Amino acid sequence: MFAKVFPSIPIALAMSLGVAFAAEDGKTEVDGKYFDKEEEPTYNVKEDGTVDWYTYSGFRRYHSECHVCHGPDGLGSTYAPALIDTIKELGYGEFISVVASGQEKVTASQTSKMPGFGNNVNVYCYMDDIYVYLIARADDAIPRGRPRKRDKKPDQAKAYENECRDGK
């Protein structure tokens, strides 16, 4: 059972730590982290293609932890679904829950198993990062491959990462 509280940075907390700015498309930016109208984490891509830090970080984490089953760039494989096709329907809450706890589908002919990553700091300290990266891919806001330009790592990302990794 996944009992620990998932350590994402909710917008209310983020806003108490930093200054919120209205960004484009109804997004809000708090210290380099972007939130959509529903106050859920999202990506940002500037006109020159520069992505926010979290999207870049998500690209890296995805390709070290998820790619092996879900294929490069979220495109899926014969073994696991294309997350760029399912992420938006799934939504933030369900994404976090499946990745933390895993999911298994058993049919007469095969078993399809998504492992839970609730105890893997390399995933659970970066859940939002992976989520926003996949949303950006699903929206076709970024192309396949490593984003060429990115914002520098926000202080809040460093502080959160240290706290999350030390908490283990």
Angstrom CA distances, 84 to 16, 78, 167, stand at 32, 15, 31
3-class DSSP state for residue 108?
coil
List 100, 125, 130, 136, residue binding ligand HEC (CB under 6 A): 130
Angstrom CA distances, 95 to 43, 83, 100, 130, 132, stand at 16, 10, 8, 10, 11
- Contacts with ligand HEC: how many residues (CB under 6 A)? 23
Minimum separation from the CB atom of position 8 to ligand HEC (A) = 14
Q: Which two tokens stand for residue 23?
A: 């960004």
Task: Identify the CA nearest to 63 among candidates 78, 75, 51.
Answer: 75
How far apart are alpha carbons 162 and 168 in whole angstroms?
10
List 6, 15, 86, 154, residue binding ligand HEC (CB under 6 A): 86
| Residue whose structure tokens are 């926003």 | 132
Q: Which two tokens stand for residue 159?
A: 């502080």
99 touches ligand HEC by CB under 6 A = yes
69 touches ligand HEC by CB under 6 A = yes
Site for ligand HEC, residues 7 to 66, rule: CB under 6 A: 65-66
Which of 23, 139 has the CB closer to ligand HEC?
139
Q: Which stretch binds ligand HEC (CB under 6 A): 14-22, 26-34, 45-53, 99-107?
A: 99-107
List 4, 13, 46, 112, residue binding ligand HEC (CB under 6 A): 112
Q: Which two tokens stand for residue 80?
A: 């696991």
Residues making contact with ligand HEC (CB under 6 A)? 65-66, 68-70, 79-81, 83, 86, 90, 95, 98-99, 103, 105, 112-115, 117, 123, 130
